[in-house]
Chain A
Amino acid sequence: MTTKLMGTPVQRVEDQRFLRGLGRYVDDVAAGQDVLHAAVLRSPHAHARILDIDVDEVLDLEGVHAVWTYDDLAGPMAEPLPLLIPHPALSHGRTQYALAKDEVNHVGEAIAFVVADDRYVAEDAVGRIKVSYDFLPAVVGIDNARAATHLVHDDVPGNVGARLEQNVGDAPTAIEKAPHRLELDLTIERSACMPMEGRGTVARWDADINRMQVWTSTQTSTGVRAAVAVKLGLDLGQVDVITPDVGGGFGVKINHPWPEELLVPLAARTLGRTVKFTEDRREHFISSAHERGQVHHVSVGFDDEGRLLGLDVEFWHDHGAYTPYGLIVPIITSTQLLGPYKPQNYRVVFESLYTNTVMVTPYRGAGRPQGCYTMERTMDAIAQYLGKDRTEVRAVNFIQPDEFPYDQGLIFQDGRELEYDSGDYPASLEKIKALIGWDDFPTFRDSMAAAGRKVGIGLACYVEGTGVGPYEGAHVHIETSGKVKVATGLTTQGQGHATVFAQLVADELGVKFEDVEVVTGDTRRMPYAVGTFASRAAVMSGSAIHLAAKRAKEKVLKIAADALEADPKDLQIVDGVVSVKGSPGTSIDLGTVSVLSNPLRYAFDEASKAATQFSVGDPGKPPVPEDEEPGLEGKDFYSPERATFASGMHAAIVETDPLTAEIRILKYAVVHDCGHLINPMIVEGQIHGGVAQGIGGALYERMVYDESGQLLNASFMDFLMPYVTEIPDGIAIDHLETPSPLNPLGIKGAGEAGVIPSAAVFAAAIEDAEGFPITAMPISPSELFELRQTRKDTP
């Protein structure tokens, strides 16, 4: 009997190749073959006009095949890169050119593209290019962008790319009338995704069939395909994009097309050779994307219980030099800031600002960490002001379980209403309090204080809109071998999709797990798809795969019923065999059903003889019935009305060293609600990784720019990503499962959740330990030490 796999910790199928060193990442494609390699000349200056580019010395170098600058680009390639997500409020959207035209706007911007026999020679060549610049003042940081003494783009007044305001009720008046009021200023600095594998692209132009094949380390193969076709003047049908194994994404690889994703195919077609570009780590720091940098001002009015009466938030978002990804990040902050709470009256306004730094696109959490930090710091401030327990103030503001669906009255990142589908926030709060030991903490604090040690506790709550549209699709094909081949178009960068999607198919079709093979991110197999972002893969592709498997199953039962002369309702499929319930002897295996699904003229093996014209079929009817297709396949798409809202709460106990201000995490606890779990082992892995990334973002990682726009810490030596030594030994996790009513599996997304509340949790815990407000994150021991000194100096 086949046991149900949904909800069980099935071991990952992809690990078998990864562990043997047989994964296929983009730089592995065509390894050891005759491939040309590309390198990019990048601007060493943050802001400058380009007066002249001299490439004369480059082509003399042995092994160099070609060099491109802006002047060598023509047609659509000479136009700016696409603005992927336009928005009416983005009045001054700007995108870069594939190669800089006249001006550079951040250190790292691509200026010239060299193709040579190997990367070493290509880098030698890049070093020989001479560029003359006319330097312009660099705008670095939100304060300078707002001051607008200098402009990033001459035609963007005030450096303001967009201003967006949303209102629910009348927050300013409600705050004015409220019995209590507070104001807060809260800052978060820049960080970045930093996948272990950077960006990379390989392209091969097949002149025999006029077709372009592109492998790229992306989170959207269909997006790249459309862009390559448009920019290179090819029909969509001439371009295949294959996403091989991807060594982590975390958001940065959803942006597309990167200049190199167009220049590599262009070079491949021009030179008639396979061309590869693999960025190095410094390039990743200065020419991919960052996130998180925002400054927030909060005004809040509340009653004696801490109940919100009005919330007014103004914030400034540093989007860097260009806006290819539109306003997604600040829109998410402005909407998801509300978390599990009812603000009564809410006004939010943000300005999205240009600076001469690397552009900003979503990083795991995508604006939510900043929103959560802003809201949760406000909750803590209210509790402190009223002298109440921090969990009580949160509890009085929760949306209650009987209030779903709950419409927050705002427009979310997908252009749809921000309506929460389900959740149980009071239950989560009880769980997190128990898990971290909230009520016992005062005793623990006292005992630690008696030993001269200083500890603090903090918690933070979040709600995360996951599984946004527009859609994903799936194709399920049962081959004559009985093996099941599944394709979905979105991509995979470590989430174990080949495992969880195979679990769903095995359950629905009644086949063995090991007989299911899943392919993702290959436009040859599924040309209609959106991409992997916003914790959407399980919800979107999972649902689509479930529906496609259902369709395939319907067809199986119909054909099997004919063959077994039974009613489809009486049939069952177990371990790939269709049988009549109660009489297991009357059966047919799926492979044979597949043979019968495709009426043949020509047999190709013993089994297929059964489907040839003298063996099967009613001569009075067409071999393929009307409204049917040959083959045992199912295809379907899932397109929900709106996102489904996962939620959770994190809590931490930290110790701060009284002398050195070193910050140590003593305990970290997570309560997580992503609806039904497909594979709890994988969900917990996602939480572990998110928490670690959150710890990095709260205590270690930041992008340090100097005033001239140089990124001072563009290496793993200086950008402090956590090793195991920085991550707690054990993370306590408890799950709550409130199913989503919006999809057939009742699931919600889980990918980003682990990272969302970290800045809020650590700010709260450190504040609790130290007894003074923490309003800027990340925080290092030196900064905490400085804060202590400032407190001493200002009595």
Chain B
Amino acid sequence: MTEELHDVRLTVNGVAHDVQVPARRLLSDALRHDLALTGTHVGCEHGVCGACTVLVDGRPMRSCLMFAVSAVDAEITTVEGLTEPDGSLGPVQQAFAECHGLQCGFCTPGFLTTITAGLRENPRPTHDECRDMIAGNLCRCTGYQNIVKAVERAAAIQQAASVEERA
């Protein structure tokens, strides 16, 4: 039995990759093992922990619950794509570093992508909205205290940057 392979073009962080994958290949596995973009992590493979969250056309999606073949025609953003073009940390990444929002770092990519999308939708979240924004992601190390602070800090960094841009 030979598995049928499909030609798929995955657009990840603005770069097009042509891969051949079986229909059952998860997007998370394609990113990690076919494209070697290992920043996206897999924590449960059943959509609960959120570690594998990537942005699909800007919206946070669990890449362990998507097939690679269904991501054709989509713009995918992974944690690697959150870093600025000059290599410096993006605002959410920077906020996590400043607030000690991570320990082992395994769940972190899913939080970073989720918060990036969350702040795009709601750039000035209240404290409670910051907590809500991360309420679908599991972290076993931090007890979430500093992740909430990091969401608030990220919002502040982005606001300061947009003020600067306007000025």
The chain A residues found within 8 Å of chain B, CB to CB, are: 9, 11-12, 14-16, 18-25, 27-28, 31-32, 61-62, 118-121, 194-197, 245-248, 250, 280-281, 493-496, 681-682, 684-685, 687-693, 715-717, 721, 723-725, 727, 729-731, 754
Give the top 5 A-B pairs by smallest Cβ distance, nearest first: A21-B39, A247-B106, A494-B104, A32-B36, A18-B105
Whole-angstrom CA separation of A54 from B144 in the bound complex? 48
**B100 with A685: CB separation less than 8 A:** yes
**B108 with A18: CB separation less than 8 A:** yes
Within 8 A of A (CB), among B120-148: 127, 131, 134-148
**B38 with A729: CB separation less than 8 A:** no
Collect the chain A residues with CB atoms within 8 Å of residue B34's CB: 32
Collect the chain A residues with CB atoms within 8 Å of residue B25's CB: 120
Within 8 A of A (CB), among B19-46: 22, 24-25, 29, 32-46
Counting chain B CB atoms within 10 Å of each CB, which of A15, A691, A692 scores highest? A15
Expressed in whole angstroms, the minimum distance between the Cβ of A30 and any Cβ of chain B is 9
Whole-angstrom CA separation of A727 from B78 in the bound complex? 28
Collect the chain A residues with CB atoms within 8 Å of residue B40's CB: 21
**A31 with B131: CB separation less than 8 A:** no
B160 at interface by CB-CB < 8 Å: no
Collect the chain A residues with CB atoms within 8 Å of residue B118's CB: none
Can you report 10 residue pairs joining A to B where beta carbons are below 8 Å apart? A9-B100, A15-B105, A19-B97, A25-B41, A31-B32, A196-B49, A248-B104, A248-B140, A685-B100, A724-B134
Counting chain B CB atoms within 10 Å of each CB, which of A196, A721, A727, A729 scores highest? A196
Collect the chain A residues with CB atoms within 8 Å of residue B55's CB: none
Whole-angstrom CA separation of A9 from B144 in the bound complex? 18
> 0/1 per residue, B85-113, Cβ < 8 Å to A?
00001000100111010111111110010
**B144 with A724: CB separation less than 8 A:** yes
**A196 with B97: CB separation less than 8 A:** no
Quick one: which of A14, A716, A724 contacts B131, CB cutoff 8 A?
A724
Quick one: which of A15, A724, A754 contacts B148, CB cutoff 8 A?
A724
Whole-angstrom CA separation of A9 from B43 in the bound complex? 30
Residue on B nearest A32 in the bound complex, by CB: B36
**A245 with B105: CB separation less than 8 A:** yes
Whole-angstrom CA separation of A46 from B146 in the bound complex? 41
Residue on A nearest B110 in the bound complex, by CB: A196
**A120 with B103: CB separation less than 8 A:** no
Collect the chain A residues with CB atoms within 8 Å of residue B38's CB: 21, 24-25, 27-28, 31
Quick one: which of B39, B48, B127, B141 contacts A689, CB cutoff 8 A?
B141
* Contact flag A248-B97 (CB < 8 Å), given A25-B41, A196-B51: no
**A120 with B24: CB separation less than 8 A:** yes
**A723 with B32: CB separation less than 8 A:** no
The chain B residues found within 8 Å of chain A, CB to CB, are: 1-3, 22, 24-25, 29, 32-46, 48-49, 51, 78-80, 82-83, 89, 93, 96-98, 100, 102-109, 112, 127, 131, 134-148
Whole-angstrom CA separation of A731 from B3 in the bound complex? 53
* Contact flag A18-B131 (CB < 8 Å), given A61-B1, A693-B140: no
Quick one: which of A21, A248, A493, A725 contacts B80, CB cutoff 8 A?
A21
**B100 with A12: CB separation less than 8 A:** yes
Whole-angstrom CA separation of A23 from B93 in the bound complex? 14
Collect the chain B residues with CB atoms within 8 Å of residue A693's CB: 140, 143
Expressed in whole angstroms, the minimum distance between the Cβ of B147 and any Cβ of chain A is 7
**A197 with B41: CB separation less than 8 A:** yes
* Contact flag A16-B109 (CB < 8 Å), given A689-B140, A692-B143, A727-B143: no
**A494 with B141: CB separation less than 8 A:** yes
**A196 with B140: CB separation less than 8 A:** yes
Whole-angstrom CA separation of A721 from B49 in the bound complex? 10
Expressed in whole angstroms, the minimum distance between the Cβ of B91 and any Cβ of chain A is 11
Collect the chain B residues with CB atoms within 8 Å of residue A15's CB: 96-97, 102, 105
Collect the chain B residues with CB atoms within 8 Å of residue A727's CB: 143-145
* Contact flag A496-B103 (CB < 8 Å), given A689-B142, A725-B135: yes
Whole-angstrom CA separation of A135 from B55 in the bound complex? 48
Whole-angstrom CA separation of A408 from B100 in the bound complex? 38
Collect the chain B residues with CB atoms within 8 Å of residue A20's CB: 39, 79-80, 83, 89, 93
Counting chain A CB atoms within 10 Å of each CB, which of B82, B106, B137, B146 scores highest? B106
**B104 with A729: CB separation less than 8 A:** no
Counting chain B CB atoms within 10 Å of each CB, which of A61, A120, A682, A724 scores highest? A724
Collect the chain A residues with CB atoms within 8 Å of residue B100's CB: 9, 11-12, 681-682, 684-685
Quick one: which of A25, A246, A715, A725 contacts B44, CB cutoff 8 A?
A715
**B106 with A25: CB separation less than 8 A:** yes
